[in-house]
Amino acid sequence: MSRTVAHEELSALRRELHRHPEPAWCEFYTTARIVDELETRDLDALHYGPGILGSERMNLPDDGELDEWFERARDAGAREDILAEIEGGYTGAVAVLERGEGPVVGVRVDIDGLPIPESEDGEHAPAEAGFRSEHEGYMHACGHDAHATFGVGVIDEILASDFEGTLKVFFQPGEEQIVGGKPMADSELIDDVEYFLAAHVGLDHPTGEVVAGIDGFLAVSHFHAAFDGEPAHAGGHPEQGRNAVQAAAAAIQNLYSIPRHADGPTRVNAGVVGGGTATNIVPEEAFVEGEVRGGTTELMEYMDGKARTVIDSAADMHEVDVEIEQLGRAPSASSDEELVGPIAEVAGDVDGVTTVIERDELGGSEDATYMMRAVQENGGYATYVGVGTDHPGGHHTGTFDVAEESLDIGVDFLTAAVLEIAERRP
């Protein structure tokens, strides 16, 4: 299949996005750049702003953080008219292309970055070639810059094809914090989607290797527990205090003691903790930020219930108050064989593809599962596909990068999948 968009165009867009990584609900420059790019295409609709989200946003940054990233986007040259529509953290976009009678096919690509400092080593390609992150402490360490490029590239290829049907490309915010998938899944924009593809680059697959169906999603729940006690002089009157750090420490210890479950894998992690003000003051405040996971949604809910019991009990034991906030959440999901088979068949004919794997296990979590399940519950089919890339460093490390030939492979692979689905209508 000959490609309409040149490799140089894909690479240039990916590199521009790579220079401007932004965290969940702060993807102002990224959204504006995608919208600006897509407005030059012959689309039937391009949605952005509050209307693309069908439910409340979880773990929204405070106004100060939102304003800071908004101004960064403005300073970087993002269009004012687009910024006005997404101010307040209404990031992401949905592009719609209608081409006659045929099925509605959805493609999801995520667009957010991570709070990880990017390597400055001369052997790190973005540093060597001059497109390293301009936001110190943040980078695209999971390939979402490539994913957004896939989305734009697929639109270009479908526009130039004989596709019959409707294509919807969902540029999803907030995947890394597991917060963007649910509001998009709750939007009416997904209600008519009959076939759905979510894509990810890398995942320890080399360049040239593609995966037609990924399973093994761990359902996940992120939480923030804030303990509130009473301060006192630690030497003079320790009995007058109610120690929030002590309660948090008890909670952390007991979180790791939650019994595992016979039905499948479970996980727990207290990833960020803090509290107290001085060595001679009984700590009044403390917090624990953590997560639980399960091989199924039911196993995650088992762990989540146990975790909340542990946290509440630790607070009661040390006579402090605690508030538990839900930060992010995603269910498990499975890729439908009705899509996996046809996609695997057509993938071998894509230029650059050397190996086709029908199924693989993710072993992690993803909030594209909300969108997959929404389509499946409406009677449609969904799959999560992988596009291999030779990535130095693991995902979520400062040396992560993508081999840019995988941009071409990803666009062609996803385009071939969309065309095959539209023609075969499995």
Q: What's the rounded mean pLDDT across residues 79-97?
A: 98
The pLDDT value recorded for residue 2 is 67
Average pLDDT, the chain: 97
Residue 156 in this model has a pLDDT that exceeds 70: yes
The pLDDT value recorded for residue 424 is 94
Residue 144 in this model has a pLDDT that exceeds 90: yes
Q: Which residues contact 9 (CB under 8 A, 6 or more apart)?
A: none
Neighbours of 421 (CB within 10 A): 25
Q: What's the rounded mean pLDDT across residues 275-304?
A: 97
Q: What's the rounded mean pLDDT across residues 326-343?
A: 97
Q: What's the rounded mean pLDDT across residues 150-175?
A: 98
Which three-class secondary structure state does DSSP give residue 56?
coil
Q: How confident is the model at residue 393 (pLDDT cuts 50, 70, 90)?
A: confident
Taking Cα atoms as reference points, which of 96, 104, 167 lies closest to residue 415?
A: 167
Share of the chain above pLDDT 70, in %: 100
93-99 sheet: strands from edge to edge? 45-48, 93-99, 165-172, 104-110, 195-201, 381-387, 209-215, 355-361
Q: Are 5 and 154 in contact (CB under 8 A)?
A: no
This model's pTM is above 0.85? yes
Share of the chain above pLDDT 90, in %: 97
The CATH class of the 7-215+333-424 domain is: alpha beta
Q: What's the rounded mean pLDDT across residues 323-331?
A: 96
Residue 4 in this model has a pLDDT that exceeds 90: no
In whole angstroms, give the CA distance from residue 349 to residue 359.
18
Q: What's the rounded mean pLDDT across residues 288-295?
A: 97
Taking Cα atoms as reference points, which of 306, 280, 288 lies closest to residue 244?
A: 288
Q: What's the rounded mean pLDDT across residues 94-100?
A: 96
- CATH 3.30.70.360 maps onto the chain at 219-326
- Angle (CA) 352 353 357, round 5°: 165
Q: Which CATH number fits domain 219-326: 3.30.70.360, 3.30.420.40, 2.60.40.10, 3.30.70.890?
A: 3.30.70.360
Tokens 């953590």 appear where? 290
Q: Which residues contact 62 (CB under 8 A, 6 or more apart)?
A: none
376-388 pLDDT per residue, tens: 999 999 999 999 9
Which three-class secondary structure state does DSSP give residue 148?
helix
The pLDDT value recorded for residue 41 is 96
Write phi, then psi, for 199 (nearest 5 degrees).
-130, 150
Q: What's the rounded mean pLDDT across residues 358-376?
A: 96
Strand-pair partners of 80:
none
241-257 pLDDT per residue, tens: 999 999 999 999 999 99
**Structure tokens that stand for 326 in this block:** 């839900």
The pLDDT value recorded for residue 349 is 96
182-222 pLDDT per residue, tens: 999 999 999 999 999 999 999 999 999 999 999 999 999 99
Q: How confident is the model at residue 1 (pLDDT cuts 50, 70, 90)?
A: low
- CATH 3.40.630.10 maps onto the chain at 7-215+333-424
Residue 417 in this model has a pLDDT that exceeds 80: yes
Taking Cα atoms as reference points, which of 422, 30, 26 lies closest to residue 195?
A: 422
